[in-house]
Amino acid sequence: MKRICVVGTGYVGLVTGTCFSDLGNEVRCLDIDEEKIAKLDGGNLPIYEPGLEELVRRNARAGRLSFTTSYPDALRNADIVFIAVETPSGPEGEADMRYVRAAAQMVAKQLPSDRLTIIVNKSTVPVGAADLVAQIIRRKNPTASFSVVSNPEFLREGNAVADFMNPDRIVLGASEKEVGARVAELYAPLKCPVVITDLRTAEMIKYASNAFLATKISFINEIASVCDKLGADVKEVARGMGLDRRIGASFLDAGLGYGGSCFPKDVKALAHMAAIHGCHPQLLRAVMEINHDQRRAMLARIRSLFGTLEGLVIGILGLSFKPNTDDMREAAAVEIIRLLQHEGTEVRAYDPVSSNVARTILTNTVLHDDAYSVADGADALIVVTEWNEFKNLDMARIKSLMRNPVLVDGRNLYDPQEMLALGFNYSGVGRGHLSLDVQALPSRPSKARTVKRPAVPLEEG
Ligand code: NAD
């Protein structure tokens, strides 16, 4: 049993702290956000993450997990301190280290000199950040006895508890092997491969992993655009590719691109690091460009169909950046909604869990309580997040409610043939001959506007 302090009780910190307490350790979770801590003290979760609430309650009840806003309280007798604060994008794409710096300074003040405290960077931080944290602590508290370890996190929101408890690997960077081994002991019950390496290599493993996964997504999205033009179906292409074990099936889903609090900022930060050290990160730049293009291409499809976006009523299904989370950071929905509103579209939306978060971000968007009321009177529906709930909708009812049955499936959730049979004007991403631009638009009952039918290019279809 170790005494652990986790600084930053967000998606990563709360999951880390809770899971370590579930493994039998005594954990104090610290945050500067008083509201968050008050909620947790009251047994409520400040975030949505499947399975986490029950685990928090169970371990809090057992006295192994507690929450505080006080650094002295949190660090008293701590053997290991995890820093899990946010590292958002700065103006140049760099990782903004101000929260990590502040946390390191506050931690430094509490460190004793008579026994070793291990400080673990769990936040995704630029290469060299462990040295920076060590410097900050040394400057603030010259007599402190400490060692800094890098332990990047690979969990996925929406599956965070399961990912934490069943990791593919644990990566630890340490300048002293025995200190790395002490952190590795915490993970021993998980029985997974542990890579112990030097600090900078561990930090780079995290960025390289996220950049590679983002590259897979942008790769398949680029292939999807070509499929659309040449009449191939990207879903089948991805299946055929993914069965090759050298390639693998995951992260080959064409759609509206990656979002969330990690991939966008981490690819940007890696490109920034590379550029300022004299490299030319052209692949990473292309990955980011393709990701942006995916969202704009969706709008272009609808514009080409109606001739304009001005005055249309468009429904958005799904707001979170992916299913099973309420996280809307860098969500495709946010970018798409802003672009639509900029062009004079009336936007309404529904998400199974993100409404509270959405209210603080999307002030001009009407939020509905279900998909059917979003469809009612809409000119087009765009599926932005692939929630399971959307797979089971009564699509005949959805169609009957719409003013124009235009279905833009940004996540390739539906079977194109089924949607066409129901009478939708259906478009997926990279579904070849089933693209919108080669289908005729049904006549539009609206008095307000006339609809331009798209020309059917002869070489397609
Ligand atoms: P988050 O924004 O959900 O949580 C960060 C928390 O830290 C917030 O509650 C904030 O109030 C708190 N905080 C900020 N400064 C503090 C300070 N000085 N002292 C105490 N608390 C402070 O962020 P997150 O999504 O949990 O991400 C944390 C880090 O983990 C980031 O570097 C991120 O890149 C990385 N990461 C995130 C994920 C993910 O899926 N979210 C996955 C892997 C890695």
Structure-token pair, residue 289:
């460009």
**Is the separation of the CB atoms in 377 and 445 below 8 Å?**
no
Q: For residue 81, what is the DSSP state? A: E
pLDDT digits (tens, 9 = 90+) for 41-55: 999 999 989 999 999
Test site for ligand 1: of 153, 157, 321, most ligand atoms within 8 A of the Cβ = 153
Task: Say how far apart CA 242 and CA 222 lie, in whole Å.
Answer: 16
Amino acid residing at 256? L
124 CB under 6 A from ligand 1? yes
**Is the separation of the CB atoms in 266 and 211 below 8 Å?**
yes
Confirm whether 3-197 and 232-461 share one CATH topology: yes
Of the candidates 87, 122, 166, 156, the residue with the CA atom closest to the CA atom of residue 321: 156
Whole-prediction pTM value?
A: 0.91
Task: Name the class of domain 3-197.
Answer: alpha beta
Domain boundaries, the chain: 3-197, 232-461
Task: Say how far apart CA 70 and CA 9 lie, in whole Å.
Answer: 13
pLDDT digits (tens, 9 = 90+) for 373-431: 999 999 999 999 999 999 999 999 999 999 999 999 999 999 999 999 999 999 999 99
Q: For residue 89, what is the DSSP state? A: B
19 is catalytic: no
How close are the terminal C-alpha atoms of the chain, in Å?
64
User: Which residues lie across from 41 on neighbouring strands?
Assistant: none
Nearest CA to ligand 1 atom 20: 31
pLDDT digits (tens, 9 = 90+) for 198-248: 999 999 999 999 999 999 999 999 999 999 999 999 999 999 999 999 999
- Which segments of 231-367 does DSSP mark as H helices, in order? 234-242, 263-276, 282-306, 332-342, 355-361
DSSP, collapsed to helix, strand or coil, labels residue 134 as helix
Q: What CATH superfamily classification does 232-461 receive? A: NAD(P)-binding Rossmann-like Domain (3.40.50.720)
Amino acid residing at 143? T
203 CB under 6 A from ligand 1? no
Task: Say how far apart CA 59 and CA 55 lie, in whole Å.
Answer: 6
Q: For residue 99, how far is its CA from the centre of ligand 1 (angstroms)?
A: 9
Percent over 70 (pLDDT), the chain: 94
Instruction: Look at phi and psi of residue 128 and say left if phi exceeds 0, alpha if psi is from -120 to 50, else beta.
Output: left
